[in-house]
Amino acid sequence: MSLSAPASDPGTAAWQAKFPGRATVWKLRTHTLTLSRRPLVMGILNCTPDSFSDGGKYFDASAAIVRARQMVAEGADILDIGGESTRPYSEPVSVDEELRRVLPVIEAIRPHVLVPLSIDTSKAAVARAAIQAGAEIINDVTGLAGDVEMLSVAAETGVGVCAMHMQGTPQTMQDHPAYDDVVAEILRWLAERRSALTKAGISRDRIALDPGIGFGKTHQHNLTLLAHCFRFHELNCPLLLGPSRKGFIAKVLGDKEIDRTAGTVGTCLSLASQGVQILRVHDVAATKQALLLYEATGGIDGQPVLVE
């Protein structure tokens, strides 16, 4: 069974009118992703011992490969592979160690999956090696500003990039995050960063932007950003958000130990209704299934989808 919109979908024009400037494609190194009303799902594969949610589970390369294949089977549209934790107060790792963690995984899974691979790194040397091994996207929490060579790597290789906003560094970002107007300030920062990337030779259709939920934001900052993500469509770039299992979910639910899957899914449905194009999550199956049913029942834009 598949879910698909009718050929003459009356909701398409209304959807684009609702979110002027919303990007409909994201060009990668060898792929072009079509960004329909239903968001793409980016599966998280942390090859680390200390990531905040799943640290250690996929640190072994063989376990990471099994999980990668599982996420594709569950419906992941992109796999995001990282070898360095960026949780609050995490310690940085060396280039050699990060390469040791991610390259065997990329090299092993690239021949066996059809979906694009993303390298989650802020190091240019890691990005370049990952691209040579088959990665199509650089996902950089520093907005491609943490390493002076990163812009040239992205421009020379023609990959897609995701530039994220972060106030401070992982070691300092949660000390005292402060904004006068969190949405307006991050909107301005992302616009400036987009301009820097295009000046460096990265075409706008290769750039995705991420307001950085949980990266240098308080609980209220996160909720405000999540409620106003539609405003970022004016930047004319795909929006990529990663709300998965983050602390604001436990805070809202009033339980630090609660399973955060349902809270993640609920947040993703809210983002889908705002036209966000890519959702970065740990729980691929739950998110994908919820999005399919949300779309099929008209939740995204009031236009039910035909079931064939």
Active site residue 246: yes
Active site residue 288: no
Which residue is catalytic, options 128, 246, 260, 288?
Answer: 246
Which residue is catalytic, options 128, 217, 260, 280?
Answer: 280
| Dihedral angle computed from the Cα positions of residues 40, 17, 15 and 25, in that order, rounded to the nearest 10 degrees | -30
Residues acting as catalytic residues: 246, 280
